[in-house]
Amino acid sequence: MHNLSEVAKIKKREYYSSPLSLTSQFYFCPVPLRLDTYSGCEHNCIYCFANNSMQKFIGSSEFSQRQIYENVKPTKLAYVKKYFDMAFEGKPNTFSNQEAIAVECIKRKVPLHYGGMSDPCQPIEAEIGVTYEVLKLLKKYNYPVIFSTKGKLILSDKYFDLIKDYENFALQISIIDDRENVLKLLDPNAMTFAERIEALKKYKSVGKWTAVRIQPFIIGLTDSRIIPMLDKFQEVGVNHIMVEGLKFMSGNKEANERISKVFKEVTGESYNLEAFYRAYSAKCSGNDLELPSWRKYKYDKIFAEECKKRNMTFGCADNDLRFLGDSPCCCGIENLKGFENTLKHNTGHAIFRAMKQGLPNFDKSIIEQEWISDGKFRCPMSNENARARFEDGSANRPVQELFNNAWEKGGKNSPCDVCSVKHLGCGKYRFYTEEELKGILKDGGSQQRLI
């Protein structure tokens, strides 16, 4: 908790005005509706893509915890409420682009992922309280929400008493290691492992569906903890496990040094983590170094098999290995009562439907009847790039157009992002045969695909 006498001395805090929108994951994800009550996060986890990005470099060791605290921007309840007033109270939809689409999705009660870019229960919430007020708003509509946190406030009676009879509430706790000393190094200001287990137990005691988010899974550091962690999660009745491999920020030297330092403290060996990942065949994907499918497959397959043994469902959050999961939704809420209205016009659903129907080949007709917004999405590109790419010079593109273009071309955000799928041209796809897939996924795979 922060010293309230000190808070008064802090400069006037800015507010985060874009708490809710459709994310660019709409190509693949059944729950791309993201809600954040804060921009920036005091937990200061050393691997955090939000704090360590070049755009928001507040996770640096050059900054004190006080400076990180000062840089966190809370939203206002009013900024969130207006989405629900437009969706349910007859107010006109005055938003544009992905914010306008978010209102359409809310009308359909598409589940919300609450805590996509920052933790809604980080320490500042004890003073600001906006997450608590937003939860009361969501509860009023019994709105389906996946609440993702590792903040201690979720354990408090205040939040527990609010949530315990909130029917359409799913709790997702982030845990990437079960060793307290390692977690203290990786997640310096979040709950301890014991507290996270306590939170899972507490909410299971009132019948809440619970999941553990192992993101990032770090080969060379946390891979030895798979079985011990799953055993502990099984003991407390966790319903679902989701896993995503570390995407290593090659452009952020400060973050790289911090993670490398933790490797040395835990293992006793010196690391240059960028060199370590490159030696493991990592290649650049945007601004990140990412391991190829055949490297991650070995571990994700273990997770899938071990979760099944323990009667827990599994979701692979790496798109290239999504087929290892139990459903198109890596968050695992696909069949949860009250959460049925996930978005189904996406590549994830197309692939799982084709797999379920035993189709060797498929095209977009497999999801053609599913709803997709006719609104526009604001693409992150410069005006110059927009002029070169689009005739009207605008980066605001219809969602349907963006989705169709990706599907037809067979590149990024198409079904062939999944390493078991091959583009045949003209928007048609086929699954690799078992033998072909073995070649892709064996150690040192003959096709070292990085998706």
Query: Where do the DSSP E strands lie in 90-239?
Result: 112-114, 145-149, 169-174, 209-217
- Residue 92 CA, chain-centre distance (Å), reads 30
**Phi then psi for 21, rounded to 5 degrees?**
-165, 170
pLDDT in tens, 41-57: 888 888 886 665 534 44
- Residue 395 CA, chain-centre distance (Å), reads 25
**Distance in angstroms (rounded) separating the CA atoms of residues 184 and 150:** 13
Instruction: Give the pLDDT score at 264.
Output: 84
Do residues 332 and 326 lie in contact, with contact meaning Cβ atoms separated by under 8 Å? yes
Instruction: Give the pLDDT score at 288.
Output: 79
Q: Percent of the chain having pLDDT more than 90?
A: 68
Which CATH code fits 4-324? Answer: 3.80.30.30
Instruction: Indicate whether 1 pLDDT > 60.
Output: no
pLDDT in tens, 118-159: 999 999 999 999 999 999 999 999 999 999 999 999 999 999
Total length of the chain? 451
Q: Which residue has the higher pLDDT, 286 or 206?
A: 206
Q: Which residue has the higher pLDDT, 283 or 310?
A: 310
Nearest CA to 155 among 103, 196, 100?
196
Q: How far is CA 71 from CA 39, 51, 74, 148, in A?
A: 9, 10, 10, 21
Q: How far is CA 35 from CA 8, 60, 156, 336, 394, in A?
A: 28, 25, 22, 20, 26
Q: Spell out the domain ranges in the chain.
A: 4-324, 347-441
Provide mean pLDDT across the span 59-63.
49
